[in-house]
Structure 1
Amino acid sequence: MKSLNLQGLHAVVTGGGSGIGAAVASALLEAGASVTVMGRNLDRLQGQVAALMPLGVIDCCELDVSDEASVKAAFAAQAKVDILVNNAGQAETAPLAKTSLDLWQRMLNVNLTGTFLCSREVLAGMSERGFGRIINVASTAGLTGYAYVAAYCAAKHGVVGMTRALAQEVAKKGITANAVCPGYTETEIVDRAIANIMAKTGRSAEQARAELAASNPQGRLVQPQEVADAVLWLARPDSAAMNGQAISVCGGELG
């Protein structure tokens, strides 16, 4: 249990109001870190703070990861950030031929540019203290292609590439940068995917869910807690040798 002790460390989790972000915040709190959850929906964030407060020290901050001014203001309000979990993300579907420039840019802004902006804000402080963990929640879509989500795949591939480049830059500064790449996970994003399949194909919710789960050799959706456990492992001080990795959490979908 000593290796799980994050006492004295402060973590920021973007997109922390639900799903993977909420599970990550809970895991970090249970390991002893203080946590700030950030996101666009302040009411939802405050609800998470109330729910998780029994586990430890947690607060929240409104943030739009795609807006540079918003990112700078949110991180300027943090005394220090030892662990950054870039979890904020968004997925929308369309065939490439019908992908508007607006949709394309939106996927890049939220999933890729947001990860860049938040990471940039914490690097100086981490370098000064000689310790930091940057963990980017990417996706199996950052490691392979899926039809009808070209913009999302491009953004998540970018996150993985940026993670690997950053890892080289910070390798001798006590900082690590890694990506966690979940497969289809039981979150609101998957709920929307199921609704989309139902609307376009006439399948039932059970059939749509089974279609997504079929990509996982275990025949199920990944649970947010399983992703959080991988994040927690990478956040540990004694995980210093893990750097520049893109770790799949997908039941064996990708080798």
Structure 2
Amino acid sequence: METNAPVIAVSGATGGMGTAVVEELARSDATVALLGRDAARLERTRQLIDARTGGAGRLVTYETDINDAAAVDATVAGLVAELGRVDALVHTAGDGPLAPLAETTDEMWQATFNGKLMGAVRLTRAVAGPMAEAGGGSVVLVSGVFRKDPDPLFPVNSAVNAALATFAKAVSKDLGRSGIRVNVVDPGAVRTPLWDEIAKTLGDRTGATADEVTASVAAGTPLGTLAEPQDVARLVAFLLSPAARHIAGAAITLDGGASAGL
């Protein structure tokens, strides 16, 4: 069933930032395709956002595994067949371990690269054709501030985030000729369930509580607070909008001024 509203696919739609992105886009009356591996979680998220937004927008769910190229291709083909097109992609899926180099394993590195980086590659490659045929589109990859400010406790994330930004810069020069803009959002610490887990793990290492870790990180930010998922969602929505029509190949940091990298 084709729709006149923008059709936007969101990977990692059941995560903290992914859910916020879906809700923000739904409030703009977009048709949002929620992508994830757990059908039950996808449906719960769809119902939650539908209730929060009063039924604004149209939400549809697609169970898929971004670690599987064939599954991604089939999902995007099915989405286009059902909804008529895909105007934008937001990739929020994928996270990595809190582990210094000596504690990392090959499996940690491979899993993070496969999900976050290769997931972006597979999804972008799959949507590029339909977008080009329709005259253009927009891709936003949600990465992380370790891209420009690597952290010794997060070497896996640091490497993957840098690779993701490099990928986005390279393909933006290619896909831009077809009217497709590719950009990256690099959040710092964002108050999500994942952050709660990270704060607890950091606290266990240092003898602090999760709340103390969160307060310390917030205090080290010039603006004095962590980002909220909605902050990320609003930046994503802007990058997808006509107001950002001339922004391509950019990596935008959203960390309250905390990172030292330029």
TM interval, short-chain normalised = over 0.9
Would you say how many aligned residue pairs link Structure 1 and Structure 2?
A: 250
Q: Corresponding residue for 1:183?
A: 188
Alignment-derived partner of residue 176 in structure 2: 171
Please state how far the C-alpha of 1:90 moved relative to its aligned partner.
1.3
**Does the CA-based 8 Å contact 1:216-1:253 persist in structure 2?**
yes
Q: Which residue of 1 aligns with 2:89?
A: 84
Q: State the match for 2:57 in structure 1.
A: 56
1:41 counterpart letter in structure 2? D
Alignment partner for residue 119 of structure 1, among 104, 118, 124?
Answer: 124
Q: 1:18 aligns with which of 15, 20, 43?
A: 15
**1:230 maps to what in 2?**
235
Unmatched runs of 5 consecutive residues or more in structure 2: none
Native 8 Å contact 1:37 1:58 kept in 2? yes
Paired with 1:116 and 1:169, the residues of 2 have a C-alpha distance of: 14
Q: Tell me: CA distance 1:167–1:238, structure 2 relative to 1, closer, same or farther (3 Å).
A: same
Relative to structure 1, is the Cα distance of residues 238 and 220 closer, same or farther in structure 2, using a 3 angstrom cutoff?
Answer: closer
Identity of aligned residues (%): 30
- 1:32-181 equivalences in 2 (<5 Å): 32-53=29-50, 54-79=55-80, 80-181=85-186
Counterparts in 2 of 1:101 and 1:18: CA distance versus 1, 3 Å: closer
Contact 1:164/1:244 (8 A) holds in 2: yes
Aligned residue identity for 1:64: D
Are residues 1:249 and 2:249 paired?
no
**4+ residue runs of structure 1 moved beyond 3 angstroms?**
none
Q: What SS is found at the alignment partner of 1:81?
A: coil
Partner of 1:3: none
- Equivalent-residue separation in structure 2 for 1:219 and 1:61 (angstroms): 38
Query: CA–CA distance in 2 between the matches of 1:74 and 1:179?
Result: 23
RMSD: 1.5
Distance 1:210 1:135 in 2: 30
Report if the CA contact (8 A) 1:7-1:33 is conserved: no
Distance in 1, matches of 2:232 and 2:154, equals 22
Is 1:16–1:37's contact at 8 Å kept on the other side of the alignment? yes
